[in-house]
């Protein structure tokens, strides 16, 4: 619905439609690095990628990262939809790359979930969703990594 106002939303959905519905990981390991901004994730992921002679992928994926500033200026639900779509596009890239070499990922679903929770509680820790809330559950249709650090 927002494609008329945000043309990039239509292009994002077109990319998402090209992703296989069920991504399957290849035989090589997939390792995700999560953390706060400016904590060394880029340095560590590059080093691990070089050491393992693998692929380095980032969230949001390169094919949509140039739209990040556009969606970051939108209301929270639209911004969350952008990053959620990015996770599925990234999963497709992970599935393909993991058939050829180890895959190192700089942020993934965990960052999206943390952002969603943070924006919903508006800074009040007592407003966190209960421990069993679905916001903490890995989406069943999203490719899982082998290890998250």
Sheet bearing 103-106, strands edge to edge: 55-58, 103-106, 30-33, 147-148
pLDDT in tens, 27-64: 999 999 999 889 999 999 999 999 999 999 999 999 99
Percent of the chain topping pLDDT 90 = 56
Alpha-carbon distance 71 to 29, whole Å? Answer: 31
pLDDT in tens, 98-116: 999 999 999 999 998 888 8
CATH numbers and ranges of domains, the chain: 2-148 (3.40.50.300)
Alpha-carbon distance 46 to 33, whole Å? Answer: 11
pTM, to two decimals: 0.88
């Amino acid at each position: 619905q927002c494609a008329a106002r945000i043309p990039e939303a239509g292009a994002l959905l077109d990319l998402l439609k090209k992703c296989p519905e069920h991504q399957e990981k290849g035989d090589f390991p997939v390792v995700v690095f999560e953390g706060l901004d400016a904590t060394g994730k880029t340095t560590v992921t590059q080093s691990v990628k070089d050491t393992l002679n693998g692929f380095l992928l980032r969230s949001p994926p390169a094919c949509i990262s140039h739209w990040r500033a556009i969606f970051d200026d939108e209301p929270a639900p639209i911004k969350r939809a952008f990053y959620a779509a990015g996770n599925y596009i990234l999963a497709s890239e992970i599935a393909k790359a993991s058939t050829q070499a180890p895959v190192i990922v700089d942020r993934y679903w965990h960052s999206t979930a943390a952002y969603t929770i943070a924006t919903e509680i508006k800074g009040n820790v007592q407003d966190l969703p209960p421990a069993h809330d679905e916001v903490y559950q890995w989406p069943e249709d999203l490719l899982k990594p082998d290890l998250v650090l």
